[in-house]
Amino acid sequence: MFHVVLHQPEIPPNTGNVMRLCANTATTLHLIHPLGFDLDEPLLRRAGLDYREWADVREHDSFDAWLAAVHPGRVVAFTRRAGTPHDGIDYLPGDALLFGPESDGLDPAILERPEITAAVRIPMVPRSRSLNLSNAVSVGLYEALRQQGFPDLATEGK
């Protein structure tokens, strides 16, 4: 339904947590190189638990290689530089939710690309720089899924 795209992630436990999130929501996870770690990193495996085998994780050498392989309908960039809140747009099936590296977020050159169809911000107090990457992905992905009625996800307990 959606694609989560981590552009040059740096911290293994964050990516492991996102893998687990994507496995639990049937969301494809795209990792754009360079990565700040090896995918066999113990901290990544620990954070992802046994969900790594269930996650659809795809690696791409660059942003352009990702675009060529996926051909996303829309790319929604999550950035502190945006004025629109993350719940201020209508998410559509097939949207790619793009997140930047932990140290500085998405590069302005990426944000200026014509393929970026929307830029959104997760509201925070003014003095804040950013949320933890895996938390930001959770907030963004669950808003997109909520808008679609949580397709194929159990919304009631057993």
| pLDDT, tens digit only, all 158 positions of the chain | 899 999 999 988 899 899 999 999 999 999 999 998 887 766 565 554 566 677 899 999 999 999 999 999 899 999 999 999 999 999 999 999 999 999 999 999 999 999 999 999 999 998 888 899 999 999 999 999 999 999 988 877 76
The whole domain housing 19 covers 3-131
Q: In this predicted structure, what is the pLDDT of residue 52?
A: 65
- Taking CA atoms, 19 is separated from 29, 56, 119, in Å, by 7, 8, 23
Residue that has been written with the tokens 């720089």 in this structure = 129
Q: In this predicted structure, what is the pLDDT of residue 158?
A: 61
Question: Any idea what the CATH number is for the domain that residue 15 is in?
Answer: 3.40.1280.10
- Give the total number of structural domains in the chain: 1
Those residues whose C-beta lies under 8 Å from the C-beta of residue 24, and which sit 6 or more positions away, are 51
Q: In this predicted structure, what is the pLDDT of residue 129?
A: 80
Does residue 125 lie within any of the structural domains?
A: yes
Q: In this predicted structure, what is the pLDDT of residue 105?
A: 94
d(CA 99, CA 16): 15
Does residue 68 lie within any of the structural domains?
A: yes
d(CA 11, CA 36): 6
Does residue 157 lie within any of the structural domains?
A: no
Q: In this predicted structure, what is the pLDDT of residue 46?
A: 56
DSSP conformation letters of 43-59: HHHHHHGGGGGTS-EEE
Does residue 121 lie within any of the structural domains?
A: yes
Those residues whose C-beta lies under 8 Å from the C-beta of residue 133, and which sit 6 or more positions away, are 6, 9, 11, 14, 15, 18, 99, 102
Q: In this predicted structure, what is the pLDDT of residue 152?
A: 86
Enter the pTM of the model: 0.92
Three-state SS letters, 78-126: ECCCCCEECCCCCCCCCCEEEECCCCCCCCHHHHCCCCEEEEEECCCCC
